[in-house]
Every structure is written in structure tokens, then in C-alpha cells.
């Protein structure tokens, strides 16, 4: 019968395990590995004194770790400073200082005033409401001062432009008679009333829409071609200033001097449509021709509108 094994003391077995654990830890330290912190529990009460003395023996210092274990510092490029952020615009800035000497602004031409008649009466009456033109006044002065031909010696005065400065119809008559020269008007007596009635009743225009002047400005007998040519520039200036829609020529002498076709046929004077018909003095002496003149005026009314 084999001999019996004596029982083992549990404290001895625990002390052996702890000794083996400490030996393993010390071998790991010798290789440079990290270790757990030392136990805080004293083993003097549970382990044999010889084992405790062994565990508290001085430990050889840990060898230095090889160079390759600690990485060398890596050189980094210098930081590039970013441009400073733009400061936000202030919500309000003080007004700039006034200049030492004020600068006068450049003169600006005033805008042309709207015609007062356009809104009330339309384009037809707008021309009448524009008022007189300064150039027309200058034209009248030039007519009075004219001494270009011999007719100035026999006249009492040169006949001016009569009527509106911006007419719808420009009326040009035969040369003035002696009575018209003395009266200082283009037409005299019943001829004036007849012309007004014809224009108002047939053409539907009154004296505010009409401008009247003779083909030559001075009385003095039969007009020569040279005298008519010397007086023609005044008439052309008058037409350019008046800008009428149509021209009505009264009388055969005026029609012939202006180069128009026969009465009742449209022609042109300085680019403006022109129509010739009988003179009022002729109609007063020949009442039977009023019907024909009425047809001419109706044609003029269609042109003027």
C-alpha cells in the first residue's frame, strides 16, 4: 500500500502562485514592457516570511528602450499665416468734409415746355397755343427796314405778317392795293369779312389759326419779276417759321408769281402744299364764281383736317 501524501497547506500554494506571478512580471520588465503597479495589499499575514523577503528584494533597473522604439520628431513646415480677414464695413460713417470752395454746376438747358393747348384741344390747337416766336418779330423788323427795290419809295409802310405765329393755314394774297397800304392791313373792307367767313364756315378754322401776308410787301403798281425775287426770301422765312399745314393763295397775280398751277390744283411752296383760288375782291365783283371757290375751300378743308 503506497504511503499517504501529507495534506498541502493552502497558504503555501498561494504563496507559490504569487512568487511565480512576480517572476513573470520581473521578466517582462527586463524586456522593457510596461508592468502593473505594485500590489497595495501586504502579504506578510498570508505568505511565509521567506517568500515575502524574496518578493521585496531589490529589482535590477530596466534597460533603456532601443532607439527605434521612440520615434524621432518630424520636421513640419512653418505655418503660413493667412491674410487678415477684412473688417466689416461700418454701419455709418461720418460725412466727408465739405470742399474748401464750392464748384458751380454746369448750366443745364431747360426742358422745352409742353404746349398748353395740346392737353385741352389736341394737336390742332396746340400749334395755335404755342404763342409768338421771337424770330417772327425779327422778321417783321427786317421787312420794315428793307430798301432792296424801288417799291420802298412809293409805299407808306411795308405790310407785316398778320395773325397767328403758328397757323394751320397760311394765306398769301396779291400785292397790296393803295387802300391796303394806307390802312396798313393786307385786306380792307368787305374782302376781310368775306375771307373770314369762307375760312370759318368751309375750312373750319378761325383767325387764331390763320396767318396772312401779301406776296410782296409794298404797294406801287405792277410787280416785276426782279421785285418779286427780292421779296421772296421774306416769304420763305415766314413759311419756315409758321410751318403751316397748307397754304392758300388768293388771286391770279400771286399764283403766277409763286409758280402754282391753275386755281383748284395743288402745288407746293417751300415744301408746303399750296392751293390757289380767287381773291375776295374778285368774288365781290363776280359773285357767280363763288361756287367754284367753295369747291376749292372744301379741298383745303380735307387737307387741313
Phi/psi of residue 267, each to 5°? -135, -155
pTM equals: 0.57
What span, in angstroms and rounded, lies between the C-alpha atoms of 261 and 22? Answer: 146
**Domain range summary for the chain, segments of one domain joined by +:** 10-55, 120-304
pLDDT per position as a tens digit, 231-245 = 999 999 999 999 999
CB 284 within 8 A of CB 191: yes
CB 223 within 8 A of CB 175: yes
What span, in angstroms and rounded, lies between the C-alpha atoms of 120 and 207? Answer: 19
Within 10 angstroms of residue 277's Cβ, the number of other Cβ atoms is 24
Question: Helix or strand or coil: residue 20?
Answer: helix
72 forms bridges with which residues in the sheet? Answer: none
Mean pLDDT over 28-49 rounds to: 53
pLDDT averaged over every residue in the chain: 75
Lowest mean pLDDT among 173-187, 228-242, 254-268, 280-294: 173-187
pLDDT value of position 255: 94
User: What confidence tier does 110 reach under pLDDT thresholds 50, 70, 90?
Assistant: very low
Phi/psi of residue 276, each to 5°? -105, 145
**Angle, helix 134-144 to helix 225-242, in steps of 10 degrees:** 160
Closest listed residue to residue 132, CA positions, set 157, 102, 165: 165
Within 10 angstroms of residue 101's Cβ, the number of other Cβ atoms is 6
pLDDT value of position 140: 87
pLDDT per position as a tens digit, 200-215 = 999 999 888 999 999 9
Closest listed residue to residue 232, CA positions, set 212, 214, 205: 214
Question: Domain 120-304 falls in which CATH fold?
Answer: Uracil-DNA Glycosylase, subunit E (3.40.470)
Could you tell me the maximum CA-CA distance found in the chain, to the nearest angstrom? Answer: 191
Give percent helix, percent strand, percent coil of the chain, each to the nearest 5: 40, 10, 50
DSSP 200: I
Mean pLDDT over 270-299 rounds to: 94
pLDDT value of position 47: 46
Amino acid at each position: 500500500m503506497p504511503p499517504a501524501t501529507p495534506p498541502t497547506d493552502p497558504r503555501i500554494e498561494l504563496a507559490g502562485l504569487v512568487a511565480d506571478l512576480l517572476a513573470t512580471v520581473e521578466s517582462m520588465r527586463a524586456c522593457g514592457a510596461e508592468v502593473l503597479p505594485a500590489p497595495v495589499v501586504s502579504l506578510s499575514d498570508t505568505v511565509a516570511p521567506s517568500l515575502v523577503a524574496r518578493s521585496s528584494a531589490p529589482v535590477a533597473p530596466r534597460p533603456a528602450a532601443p532607439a527605434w522604439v521612440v520615434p524621432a520628431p518630424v520636421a513640419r513646415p512653418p505655418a503660413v499665416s493667412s491674410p487678415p480677414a477684412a473688417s466689416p464695413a461700418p454701419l455709418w460713417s461720418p460725412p466727408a468734409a465739405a470742399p474748401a470752395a464750392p464748384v458751380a454746376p454746369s448750366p443745364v438747358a431747360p426742358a422745352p415746355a409742353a404746349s398748353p393747348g395740346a392737353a385741352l384741344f389736341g394737336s390742332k390747337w396746340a400749334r395755335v397755343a404755342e404763342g409768338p416766336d421771337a424770330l417772327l418779330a425779327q422778321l417783321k423788323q427786317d421787312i420794315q427796314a428793307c430798301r432792296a427795290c424801288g417799291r420802298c419809295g412809293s409805299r407808306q409802310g411795308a405790310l407785316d405778317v398778320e395773325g397767328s405765329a403758328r397757323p394751320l393755314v397760311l394765306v398769301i394774297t396779291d400785292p397790296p392795293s393803295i387802300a391796303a397800304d394806307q390802312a396798313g392791313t393786307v385786306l380792307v373792307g368787305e374782302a376781310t369779312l368775306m375771307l373770314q367767313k369762307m375760312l370759318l364756315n368751309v375750312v373750319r378754322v378761325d383767325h387764331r389759326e390763320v396767318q396772312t401776308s401779301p406776296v410782296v410787301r409794298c404797294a406801287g403798281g405792277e410787280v416785276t419779276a426782279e421785285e418779286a425775287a427780292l421779296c421772296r426770301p421774306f416769304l420763305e422765312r415766314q413759311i419756315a417759321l409758321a410751318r403751316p399745314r397748307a397754304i392758300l393763295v388768293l388771286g391770279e397775280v400771286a399764283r403766277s408769281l409763286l409758280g402754282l398751277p391753275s386755281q383748284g390744283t395743288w402745288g407746293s411752296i417751300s415744301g408746303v402744299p399750296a392751293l390757289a383760288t380767287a381773291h375776295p375782291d374778285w368774288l365781290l365783283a363776280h359773285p357767280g364764281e363763288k361756287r367754284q371757290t367753295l369747291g376749292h375751300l372744301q379741298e383745303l378743308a380735307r387737307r387741313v383736317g
